[in-house]
Structure 1
Amino acid sequence: MAHSVQRTDSAVSANIGNGNVLLLSKSFNSIHGLLLQLASLMDNNFRGLTDGSMKDQILGLLLEVLSRCSWLGCTKLCSCPVVITSYLRVLDLMLDVARTGKSRHTEVIQALLLELSSQCLSNTVSTQYAFHDPTLIELKQQATESFLSCVGLSKKNDETNDEDVQLQILGEPTSEMPREDYSLHKVHKEIMSCLTGPSYDVRITVLKRILWLTKSIRHGDVENILHQWAGVNLQPALMERLFVEEHPKCLYYNLKIIFSWNMKFPFNNEEDSSTLLSLWDRLVHLNSTMSHAKTREIVLCCMGMCMKLFTKLSGGGVSMNCLKTSEISASYVQINEGNRLSDAMLRVNLFVTLVKNQSEPSESVNARRAAAEAIVASGLLEEANYVASSVSNMSSPSEFDEGRIKEKCMEANVFAFISLYTCKILDLWFVCIQLLEDEDAYLRQKLAKDIQKIIAKGSANTFCDDSTPLQVDRVIELSLDYLTSLFGHWQKYIEFLLRIVLDTGNTLNSCGDLVRQIFDKEIDNHHEEKLLICQICCSNIQKLLHSKCQMEAGAKTKLFLQNWRETFLNQLTSLTGGYLEKEGKNNWIGGIGNHKDVFISVYAVLLGLYALTQSGSLEQLEDNRAIYLQEFSNLEGFITPFLKNPLISNLYALVKLSHERFRSSDKPEDQVGSSGSSFDPYFLIR
């Protein structure tokens, strides 16, 4: 290998007297070919040489030869960008090999490469050309990579995806380069020159390297020059670029770095909150104008990050500040505090709306993953532990219009705001529960680990610890149990559970083609998870309706139960009647109730009705009892074809038994009947 370079050196000589360069023999094309061959040998053959002493000897010979023709890597002396690029590439590979083998030549190679790459960046990055020259762009990219490699960050492999990058951070830069040539000021100047340059290729190159840097940095890393630069300059530099950068891919990497960095090193409390507010406004703008899918996904993640920072800067969340204000202002929000609170609620409302939309099954898997990551990053799930004691049945979030938060903030009771804020937190919890049954295994497993940690921390390990990852279905059950322990006293939470059950019953269109749906691979087939969630919800509803706080609510709870029983009965009648009208002439094997999608819908709504009728002391209001019981009697004419499914049949028998208690409330319970009494409607969670 050294002999090949020696021939190149003897064939091409240079006389650099008075700044003039004289090429005696070979053309640039030949030089370029030789450098390409040398780079290939370095990367594919020489790198794997096992004899360390021989490898170090060859590096020394190469360095001696290449140093004599270093003009090939100098933009002032060589007029061919392709040759300069290839020369820098060879030195870059030599430096990588030397570092791997801890060669004694590492410092000299690094010094030469740093000098040449710095010259290239200084002479080319700021230059505007009247025509597009791809060779100059390649030179800028290589010079950028070489410079960053010299100052501490080198890429082992080409990027495959954001998860599979390998880093090499120099542990002791002072032993490889004189401190005066390794200054923080010089590093900052060159990086900013690349970030602000006109070439997209250069900007994207340095952004990718910075992203790899942020993923590698840990707390306490100060020994490397890039670590020092990042700690002082990274956040301000990227925030500045965020407002002027227009290329979608550069914006994507810029935001990804901001997100990755702030997840490790969040904004300082001393930092002006206006910086965070301006970042939020920029993210809202990008979300409404950006069509690039990956950029929109990372925008949502950064909005989640902002939610967490808002909570931190406000000193413990919206609810805690509300309560402090209420003590001073007799439960009414003062003008300044009301404006602050309404602005906070508008931000939370927007974030929750975007997350809900992006977590829909119709969205791409990457969009759903980003939604899950944004929720966890927001820290709003943890807020449930702080707001639970602040909500009460005295005020409901439905008492004022969410769309008029700004207008109503001066007149609304502070506890109504807390209720709305809590509803948004519960919305995010139930979006997570929905995503825990997602078809993407990676999403389910990662989200389950994150939620398990939140539950363990919020419950002081009462429900679980985070030492051993749990099965996803167990995390689903723990999530609902955890929320029930926090919000079981709040009637609005029972409504959340009831809506989950009702929505499961509404997932199937009774007017659709049931035969086609059996074979439709686009339909979510996680039937067991859906049924598990329904059973957990209904089990919790049943327990809460027997709880002391709900029993003490009296007439208010009776009215609540009446309205929801009617809702479920109407849904069940509509569901079964719709199937009967369309499919009544078809002879389904085993009955229509054995169709998997029909079963889930009918069983879910029937189970909800069962849970609502298990409290014997909470009877139907007298004036509507007869009408309701007559409507329930009419249900039998619709549901009979579905009763060939034993699960539906047994559950229906239990629901009938409960309604018999309404008709015969004066009779002892053992005289009402015992049909289906041995059946456990919660068979998946026992």
Structure 2
Amino acid sequence: MRDCSMLLVIYWIIYLAEVVKWQLTVLSYSFNSIHGLLLQLCSLLDNNFRGLTDSNKKDQILGHLIEVLSKCSWLGCRKLCRCSVVSTSYLLVLDQMLDVGRTGKSKHTDVIRSLLLQLSSQCLNNAASTHYAFHDPTQIELQQQAAASYFSCVGIPKGHDETAEEDVRLQILDQSTSSMSETPCEVSLPELHKEIMCCLADPIYDVRITVLKRILQLVKSIRCGDSKNVLHQWARANLHSVIMERLFLEEHPKCLYYSLKIIFSWNMEWQFNNGEDSDTFLSIWERLVHLNSTVSHAKTREIILCCMGMCMKQFAKLLRNCVLLEGLKTSELSTSSVSINEGDRLPAALISTNFFVSLVKNQSDPSETVNSRRAAAEAIIASGLLVEANFVKACVSNAHLPSEHDEDHLEEKCLKASLGEFASLYACKILDLWFICIQLLEDEDVHLRQKLAKNVQKIIANGSANNLCDDSAPLQVDRVIELSFEFVTNLFGHWLKYIEYLLRMVLDTANTLDSDGDLVRQIFDKEIDNHHEEKLLICQISCSNIQKLLRSEYELGTEGSTELFLQNWRESFLHQLTALTSGYLEKEGKTDWIGGIGNHKDVFTSVYANLLGLYALTESRSLEQPEGRHESYLQEFSDLKGFITPFLKNPLISNLYLLVKRSHGVFGSQHKPEDQVGSFDPYFLLR
């Protein structure tokens, strides 16, 4: 039955071709009927004829078609045919024939391509010198089809739907690269360059977007293929500069989107720096910043962030070479009083880094769309800033601990900073990015987590602490999270600022519960991030590292300042825990929760994280406090018992609370047998 259907298709194609030829031989032919016949022919070629398995029969039909259609080639000529709709359909039929012929490796492919190349080139060249007094959508459609046909002839594959882009990319490239390598291009490199430049500068949006989509496909084919044809020669010699130029001239949002996507895709595979100096990088960066502030289209904003990450890799090299390595050579980073010149590019590089990190943080928020979070993850890897932790580690010391004020007024601070202060500020930005990355590793999107984990694993494997893992086989995401902490701790464990980062992460986790909110609603609220186990895992890893570092022999600074630092953080956790538990008593104290309020998932995470923070800070070091604060702190901790009791029905909270009480030394004569905690491990999620 299938063979009979295909025979009908073949006969119908032949019949349509003959009807077209006959129509043109009579004096009363109608452009409307010719147009209808060409559209039917195109549909049959694309939907039915393409699937014909008999290659000999397919080749025979293509030969007959091109023989008939070449005799009426004036239909595709802008000067000879006064109906642009028919000309568009005619070019489309030839385009479909070329595509089918290439797929089946037909011997008629060269003839079809030669005719189509001649007609499409004429249409494009004639359009450049033609001006219309009114808007004619049919002329625009013809010019767009001519551009698409021209690039089909020279071998640039057709674009595909973006949503399926990653799934079909390899299949597209297998077909397109094979056809490009087997079918020599009939245009020279100068001719190709001229045509591309004309199309990119065309005032008609449809033409520009067509060529940009084709160039994006070309970039992908080069990434996966190794063809040496004229297209690849053009790309390696001109693509970077041509698209960069368009970045400053293009205004249409969709054309901007594809221009940025080409830039990002190309420069992730090929060297971004083609001889540009730091001024050029800054101008590109400033253009991206401007677009970020003016463009509202979501996808364009996402690719802008990725391109910013691409620029960050260059800024990172500048910062490493000019500040960090130079400082290491002279061994003056911690004591140098040499201020960085205001005219230097280093402050601009650090300010740009700070801006980039802030954008990534905003776009990686759980409330953002999954595409936004994926773009943030891709931008982090593209920036190369995670790798810079290997180099900045030796440039930080406890002599320079940036304050929140320094980070809030970074631009003012870095202009007059010493080398040591500058390096510390830069290290803070790198740590910010590492902790944002860890947050994304617990994202609800499986694709994001797995792809990011794979990239982070490579960074850890190739870093200075490369004995942690290798990248021969992908690891589980939770294992990559653990390794990320271990990797960064090995690099920055000697720096008190890093311990502050860990404490801040625990405090933020403990502060996720809104005690004024509806706890029942939160159980069923799909908008709330429900990755409680991942949050608790990160919290336990952080506290475990804090405890180990405080117990270790790391030189964290003068004993007095360290104890003051730790006590400030103890008070922060205690104040937050008291506010949380007392707030519950005031608002919902009379609510009878089955199993106790401590079993509410959000409540449990917040209470346990606060207690764990207190435990890590008191178990690792004796509870020594400045005069005047000791009694008030212990009194507040003692008062906590009156608020936390309803939460102690949860055995995990109860056991941890007893451990914290023991570390505070407040059992005294009230110690009871039921207060025994046995072998409870507060870090029960760690391996």
User: What residue number does 1:6 align with?
Assistant: 18
One-letter amino acid of the structure 1 residue matched with residue 681 of structure 2 = D
How far off its partner does 1:157 sit?
5.3
Pick closer, same or farther for the CA change 1:299–1:100 going to 2, 3 Å.
same
What is the deviation of 1:341?
2.1
Cross-structure match for 1:45: 48
Output the CA distance in 1 between the equivalents of 2:355 and 2:161: 38
Specify the SS of the correspondent of 2:485.
Answer: helix
Q: Is the 8 A contact 2:465 2:487 kept in 1?
A: no
How far off is 1:553 after superposition?
4.1
Native 8 Å contact 2:339 2:417 kept in 1: no
1:632 Cα offset (Å):
1.1
Q: C-alpha distance in 2, partners of 1:174/1:682? A: 59
Could you tell me how far apart the structure 2 residues matched to 1:662 and 1:622 are? 22
State how 1:476-555 maps to structure 2 within 5 Å. 476-550=481-555, 553-555=558-560
Comparing 267-276 and 651-660, the one that deviates more: 267-276
Take 1:589 and 1:672, find their aligned partners in 2: how far apart are those partners?
Answer: 26
Question: What is the alpha-carbon distance in structure 2 between the residues aligned to residue 451 and residue 329 of structure 1?
Answer: 30
Identify if the C-alpha distance between structure 1 residues 175 and 248 changes in structure 2 by more than 3 Å, giving closer, same or farther: closer
Residue 470 of structure 1, CA deviation: 1.4
1:18 maps to: none
Compute the displacement of 1:273 (Å). Answer: 2.9
User: Shift in Å at residue 478 of structure 1?
Assistant: 1.1
SS at match of 1:548: coil
| Among candidates 70, 74, 80, match of residue 73 of structure 2 | 70
Q: Check the 8 A contact 1:654/1:677 in 2, yes or no.
A: no
- The Cα of 1:626 is off from its aligned counterpart by 2.4
Partner residue in 2 for 1:297: 302
Q: CA-atom RMSD, angstroms?
A: 2.6
Out of 581-590 and 539-548, give the one that drifted further: 581-590
| Residue 405 (structure 2) pairs with residue 393 (structure 1) | no
- Mapping of 1:442-461 within 5 angstroms? 442-459=447-464, 461=466
2:157 aligned counterpart, secondary structure: strand
Aligned equivalents of 1:671, 1:555: Cα separation in 2? 35
Task: Confirm or deny that 1:234 pairs with 2:239.
Answer: yes
Tell me if 1:131 matches 2:134: yes
Aligned length: 670
The equivalent position to 1:152 in structure 2, one of 155, 172, 184, is 155
Q: Which residue of 2 is the match for residue 103 of structure 1?
A: 106
- Cα distance in 2 for partners of 1:412, 1:159 equals 46
User: Structure 2 length normalisation: TM-score?
Assistant: 0.92
AA paired with 1:681?
P
5+ unaligned residues in a row in structure 1: which ranges?
Answer: 14-22, 665-669
What is the TM-score with the length of structure 1 in the denominator?
0.92
Say which is worse superposed, 120-129 or 390-399, in terms of deviation: 120-129
Shift of 1:444: 1.4
**What residue number does 1:415 align with?**
420
Distance in 2 separating the partners of 1:173 and 1:522: 48
Q: Deviations over 1:593-652 (max 9, x none)?
A: 111111110000000000001124563345532222222111111111111111100000
**Equivalence for 1:282:** 287
Residues 109-132 of structure 1, C-alpha deviations (whole Å, 9 max, x = no match): 111111111011111245342322
CA distance in 1, matches of 2:641, 2:523: 26
**Stretch of structure 1 that moved more, 115-124 or 435-444:** 435-444
Matched residue type, 1:679: F
Greater CA drift, 417-426 or 150-159: 150-159
Match of 1:643 among 639, 648, 659: 648
Moved more, 538-547 or 589-598: 589-598
String of CA shifts for 1:409-444, please: whole Å, max 9, x gaps: 454221111111111111111111111111222111
The amino acid of 1:202's aligned partner reads V
Instruction: Tell me the CA shift for residue 540 of structure 1.
Output: 0.6
Asked whether 1:437 is paired with 2:449, we answer: no
User: What letter is aligned with 2:677?
Assistant: G
| Match of residue 684 from structure 2 | 683
Residues in 2 aligned to 1:297 and 1:677: alpha-carbon distance in whole angstroms? 51
Report if aligned partners of 1:488, 1:494 keep a CA contact under 8 Å in 2: yes
Alpha-carbon deviation of 1:100?
A: 1.4
Is the alpha carbon distance of 1:55 and 1:499 closer, same or farther for their aligned partners in structure 2, counting shifts above 3 Å? same
Deviates more, 1:439-448 or 1:619-628: 619-628
Q: CA deviation at 1:274?
A: 2.5
5 Å matches for 1:644-683?
Answer: 644-660=649-665, 675-683=676-684
SS at match of 1:299: helix
Give 2:176's aligned residue. Answer: 169
Give the Å deviation of 1:590: 1.5
1:524-578 per-position Cα deviation (integer Å, ceiling 9, x unaligned): 1111111111111111111001010147742222112111111111111111111
Q: 2:248 aligns with which of 224, 236, 243?
A: 243
* Cα distance change of structure 1 residues 306 and 244 upon mapping to structure 2, 3 Å threshold: same
Q: 1:662 to 1:423 in 2, by over 3 A?
A: farther
Paired residues for 1:316-465 under 5 Å? 316=321, 318-323=323-328, 327=332, 331-336=336-341, 339-398=344-403, 401-409=406-414, 411-459=416-464, 461-465=466-470
Q: 2:201 aligns with which of 196, 200, 205?
A: 196
Q: Does 1:92 align with 2:95?
A: yes
Change (3 A) 1:232 1:269: closer
Distance 2:630 2:340 in 1: 48
Contact 1:544 1:550 survives alignment (8 Å): no
Shift of 1:461: 3.5
> What is the letter of the counterpart of residue 350 of structure 1?
F
**Aligned residue identity for 1:370:** A
CA contact (8 A) 1:255 1:298 kept: yes
C-alpha displacement at 1:188, in angstroms? 1.1
Query: Deviations 1:345-399 (Å, cap 9, x if unpaired)?
Result: 1111111111111111221111111111111110001111111111111111118
For 2:580 and 2:211, locate their aligned partners in 1 and report how far apart those are by CA, in whole Å. 58
Any idea what the Cα deviations from partners look like across 1:171-201, whole Å, max 9, x if unmatched?
5868645x7x410111111111111111111
- Cα distance in 2, alignment partners of residues 435 and 412 from structure 1: 32
Per the alignment, residue 33 of structure 2 pairs with 30
Following TM superposition, by how much is the alpha carbon of 1:507 offset from its aligned partner in structure 2, in angstroms?
0.7
Whether the 8 Å CA contact 1:38–1:90 is kept in 2: the answer is yes
Task: State the distance in 2 between where 1:572 and 1:35 align.
Answer: 75
* CA–CA distance in structure 2, aligned partners of residues 588 and 405 of structure 1: 48
Determine if contact 2:465/2:490 at 8 Å carries over to the other structure. no
Mapped partners of 1:4, 1:586: distance in 2? 79
What SS is found at the alignment partner of 2:344?
helix
Unpaired runs of at least 5, structure 2: 1-12
1:71-125 deviations in Å (ceiling 9; x for gaps): 1111111111111111111111111111112111111111111111101111124
Query: Which runs of structure 2 are paired with 1:587-626 in the superposition (5 Å)?
Result: 587-617=592-622, 619-621=624-626, 623-626=628-631
Structure 1 residue aligned with 2:59, among 56, 59, 73? Answer: 56
Contact 1:269 1:313 survives alignment (8 Å): no
- The 5 Å alignment of 1:553-564 reads 553-564=558-569
CA distance in structure 2 between the aligned counterparts of 1:294 and 1:157, rounded to whole angstroms: 17
* Residue 143 of structure 2: aligned partner: 140
Q: CA offsets, 1:434-475, max 9 Å, x none? A: 111112221111111111111111146411111211111111
> For 1:213-228, what aligned pairs fall within 5 Å after superposition?
213-218=218-223, 221=226, 223-228=228-233
The aligned residue for residue 585 of structure 2 is: 580
